[in-house]
Structure formats: structure tokens, C-alpha cells
Amino acid sequence: MQQTLPPGIERVLITAEELADANRRMAAAIAGDYAGQSIVLVGVLKGAVFVTADLARALAEAPGAPTDVQLDFIAVSSYGNAHRSSGEVRLVQDTTHAIEGKHVVIVEDIIDNGHTLHYLRAMLGNRQPASLRAAVLLDKPYHRAVDVTVDYTGLTCPDEFVVGYGLDYQERYRTLPYLAKLRPDVLPA
């Protein structure tokens, strides 16, 4: 049976099953690094809300899982209502708990130019965590402007503007269970 796509969507690029597999692979790698320890997953809002939740659940099922997984969130902005990053990152909402002395994993939906993750690594690193790593569901290396370390990567993203599974275009399409490409007539030139 053919899936009916929402208006504005050209095609599915990465299925819900592929996203779930990527989360399980990242969870297994994180569990291997933090077996028997407590960690804090810091999800980057709004885009990483689904990957943070699914990664936390996958960690609970991973062999050798951390003993305790806490969740916190941070919100930054570099897009506004545009479909390309401005490159200037600003803090919109800080974490709610101190991370000093804790093992922290930043959870990002996508890394493109690298500015956001570079900003977060510097800011959170200054707070003296016991360790600081980054898990990124989608690596989009085609336009990297900043050299930044990603410790856990789910999938390589096609060089397309993608929506779904937390990623949006003007606050639309976040709740799609897959990643999709927008029709060309939806995005401004």
C-alpha cells in the first residue's frame, strides 16, 4: 500500500524504522562508554526532542546500560524562520540542572555547518562536567564550517533540507515519524 504524504512533502528519505535502528546503535555505543555510571542527556530543543526521548528509551534497553539516565534540555537558535542557518547561535533556554562533575551527552537532531554544536560544547564544557560528548542523529557534512567532534552518529543525512522527526520548516512537519524532503515550491529560492 502506498503511503499518502502530507501536503508539501516530496518524498520520504529516511524511514521511521531506520531512525529507530540509528537510535539503538547510538544507545549501544553510549552504553558501552558509560556502563554502570550515571549520565545526563541534554537534548537541544526543539529539534532533538524526539531523538532525546527515543535515545533515552533505547539506553534503558541497551546491554550494559548506564545505571541512571537523567534528561535535561537546552534551547538555542541559529535559524529563526529561515531555512538556512545564520551561523550566529544564541541561547534561548538554559538547562535546568547543574552539570558540574556529571557525565553529559549533548543530543542533537542534525549537524550541518557545526556552529550550534561548537557553541554548546564550549558553553557546557565551561561548566566542568566529568565528561562531555555529543550524539547526533543526522550528520550532514556537506557544508561544515566549524570543526567539531561528534562522538556518536546515527546516520549520514542527504544534502537536502529535511523535515520530520523533530526537524521543521517554519514550525511545520516536526511530528512526522520519518525524515522527508520538502517539495521545491515550499522552500523560498
Which pLDDT band, with edges at 50, 70 and 90, does 84 fall under?
A: low
Asked if residue 177 has pLDDT above 80, the reply is yes
Which pLDDT band, with edges at 50, 70 and 90, does 87 fall under?
A: low
Domains identified in the chain and CATH numbers: 19-159 (3.40.50.2020)
Which pLDDT band, with edges at 50, 70 and 90, does 9 fall under?
A: very high
Instruction: Work out the widest C-alpha separation in the chain, in whole angstroms.
Output: 52
Asked if residue 14 has pLDDT above 90, the reply is yes
* C-alpha cell read off for 3: 503511503
Kindly list the catalytic residues. Answer: 112
Per-residue model confidence as pLDDT tens digits over 24-71? 999 999 999 999 999 999 999 999 999 999 999 999 999 988 889 999
Per-residue model confidence as pLDDT tens digits over 113-170? 999 999 999 999 999 999 999 999 999 999 899 999 999 999 999 999 999 999 999 9
Task: Note the pLDDT of residue 23.
Answer: 98
What average pLDDT score do residues 95-107 get?
Answer: 97
